[in-house]
Chains A and B, each alone.
Chain A
């Protein structure tokens, strides 16, 4: 589904974010990417979202070389991917419902679909009671669950979760990971980056370990080794 073919990202002579990275991810996989800060995890995710172009090499999404995608098709492409961030990134002046509805409105979905799917997505992440709360009225865990609901509501092929538990306590961390596992069980591919050893060890899924912009290990049933 996702193929990185000899991809490098060079910001300057001294700073290479990625150095000839190659790997592939199959549909339905749950892949964790671990590594110290600056190892190149975020750059990798930004390339999948076409936020950053590679300096060398190619990135494919379902056999499509995404660097060849014309600019006007980028929004449509991004709707196939659900993004979850460490800092939640909800729209501050909109309620949980409106934040999730926004993703559906952007995709041009009808009012009927929105009215049916938004409560359903909120239910799935256990946040139905906070439907009409603004982000500043929610806890960190609740905000992240709203963000997950937003990421899944358009039924994406892939979910990218960039340090989703970085700002959360252990209990909320566990809950968020369980929600992601549930989404993966329903067939969605998930790419997760994290610093959390406990999360990786409990998942018992594929782990790609990055060091200095290269892939140091790629284990099918990985553990957190750094």
Chain B
């Protein structure tokens, strides 16, 4: 019996799918209108998606350039400095630290100014090593530099056996303004991006929904006939849901393809504007993810629109 009924369901499912395909093909005007509306929708969603993640990547590279350096007093012991580094590494806010000893700082300084005879002469004139040991700190989020700095300035920081702080200065205070501004910019652009994506997605979903509603309005007579010859709701609704899914799949493929020339065109422009970050390379690298997202949104929008639009016509 169970076998019979599963066979029955498979047969009905095949009929529903076939009927959906056939209607899609025979009602070409309606299908084209729905495809057009949906392709525009998905193209908008796709570009916003690419744009938003691209912006994120760009902001990420900027964020990466920000750091805070803590300088130690001239006679700080390396052991104490390493203890500070350890306690910094233990902080959840800290992404990475890099210890630069006085000697290493001098080597880097000499390397950087090897063509600057005056600077090297001045260095020799002073004699010895005037540079300080330092630890370079990268926090996970821009907003966390403040608390890292507070930690270093506070009582938790390691002090030398004499009781005086071994920290000479933390350059966060000088960088604070820039970091704060950057933080705000990141926050705003992320919020604006998300709001835009949501708003435009909603608008385009609405347009698609209306197009599919109109398509179904023209089929309302048919739906009532189907009901009167004894078709159950699922059997009437099924083919329309299949059509909705087909609009979604085809539109997703079309819009992913349309994004190609758009990204190609924007590629060199973006590379020039965003310091080498190329939107086209980005599109190619993430093509799989973009396509899957578009397919998923297309199928969901298509099926949901059909499902909602048909409800009122099923009440026969």
Q: Which residue of A lies closest to B233 (CB)?
A: A75
A111 in the interface (beta carbon within 8 A)? yes
Indicate with 1 or 0, residue by residue over A154-198, a CB within 8 angstroms of chain B CB atoms: 100000000000000000000000000000000000000000000
What is the distance, in angstroms, from B27's C-beta to the closest C-beta of chain A? 6
Q: Which residue of A lies closest to B236 (CB)?
A: A106
Across the interface, A91 reaches (CB within 8 A) one of B12, B225, B227, B232, namely: B225
Q: Which A residues are CB-close (under 8 A) to B221? A: 89
What is the distance, in angstroms, from A66's C-beta to the closest C-beta of chain B? 14
Q: Which A residues are CB-close (under 8 A) to B233? A: 75
A111-B11 contact in complex given A51-B316, A91-B226, C-beta closer than 8 Å: yes
Across the interface, B11 reaches (CB within 8 A) one of A81, A110, A151, namely: A110
Q: Which B residues are CB-close (under 8 A) to A70? A: none
Cα separation A159 to B253 with both chains bound (whole Å): 48
A106-B316 contact in complex given A89-B221, A93-B23, C-beta closer than 8 Å: no
Cα separation A79 to B23 with both chains bound (whole Å): 24
Q: Which residue of A lies closest to B234 (CB)?
A: A75
A8 in the interface (beta carbon within 8 A)? no
Q: List CB contacts (< 8 Å) of A48-85 with chain B.
A: 49, 51, 72, 75-79, 81, 83
How many residue pairs link A and B with beta carbons under 8 A? The number is 59
Q: Is the CB of B227 within 8 A of A75?
A: yes
Q: Which B residues are CB-close (under 8 A) to A75? A: 227, 230-233, 235
Cα separation A74 to B233 with both chains bound (whole Å): 10
Give B residues with C-beta under 8 Å from A. Answer: 8, 11-12, 15, 22-23, 26-27, 221-222, 225-233, 235, 316
- Identify 9 new A-B residue pairs, CB closer than 8 A, beyond the known A75-B232, A76-B230, A83-B229: A51-B228, A75-B235, A91-B225, A92-B222, A93-B22, A106-B230, A106-B235, A108-B12, A151-B229
What is the distance, in angstroms, from B18's C-beta to the closest C-beta of chain A? 10
Q: Is the CB of A89 within 8 A of B225?
A: yes
- Residue among B225, B228, B229 facing the most chain A CB atoms (10 A cut-off): B229
Q: Which A residues are CB-close (under 8 A) to B15? A: 105
Cα separation A78 to B230 with both chains bound (whole Å): 5
Sort A-B residue pairs by CB-CB distance and give the 10 closest, nearest first. A79-B230, A106-B231, A78-B230, A75-B232, A93-B26, A89-B225, A103-B229, A75-B230, A105-B15, A91-B222
Q: Which B residues are CB-close (under 8 A) to A110? A: 11
Q: List CB contacts (< 8 Å) of A86-133 with chain B.
A: 89-94, 102-103, 105-108, 110-111
Q: Which residue of A lies closest to B18 (CB)?
A: A105
Q: Which B residues are CB-close (under 8 A) to A77? A: 230
A145 in the interface (beta carbon within 8 A)? no
Cα separation A150 to B225 with both chains bound (whole Å): 11
Q: Which B residues are CB-close (under 8 A) to A93? A: 22-23, 26-27, 222
What is the distance, in angstroms, from B154's C-beta to the closest C-beta of chain A? 70
Cα separation A108 to B235 with both chains bound (whole Å): 10
Cα separation A89 to B235 with both chains bound (whole Å): 18
Q: Which A residues are CB-close (under 8 A) to B26? A: 93
- Residue among A102, A110, A154 facing the most chain B CB atoms (10 A cut-off): A102
Cα separation A110 to B27 with both chains bound (whole Å): 27
What is the distance, in angstroms, from B66's C-beta to the closest C-beta of chain A? 63
Q: Which residue of B lies closest to A77 (CB)?
A: B230
- Residue among A94, A151, A154 facing the most chain B CB atoms (10 A cut-off): A94
Q: Is the CB of A106 within 8 A of B23?
A: no
Q: Which residue of B lies closest to A114 (CB)?
A: B15
Q: Which B residues are CB-close (under 8 A) to A76? A: 230, 232
What is the distance, in angstroms, from B73's C-beta to the closest C-beta of chain A? 84
Cα separation A72 to B11 with both chains bound (whole Å): 21
A78-B228 contact in complex given A93-B26, A93-B27, A108-B12, C-beta closer than 8 Å: yes
Q: Which B residues are CB-close (under 8 A) to A92? A: 222
Q: Which B residues are CB-close (under 8 A) to A154? A: 230
What is the distance, in angstroms, from B231's C-beta to the closest C-beta of chain A? 4
Q: Which A residues are CB-close (under 8 A) to B11? A: 108, 110-111
Q: Which B residues are CB-close (under 8 A) to A108? A: 8, 11-12
What is the distance, in angstroms, from B254's C-beta to the closest C-beta of chain A? 24
What is the distance, in angstroms, from A140's C-beta to the closest C-beta of chain B? 17
Cα separation A106 to B227 with both chains bound (whole Å): 9
Cα separation A1 to B143 with both chains bound (whole Å): 81
Cα separation A90 to B225 with both chains bound (whole Å): 8
Q: Which residue of B lies closest to A105 (CB)?
A: B15
Cα separation A49 to B12 with both chains bound (whole Å): 24
Q: Which A residues are CB-close (under 8 A) to B8? A: 108
Cα separation A103 to B235 with both chains bound (whole Å): 11
Q: Is the CB of A105 within 8 A of B230?
A: no
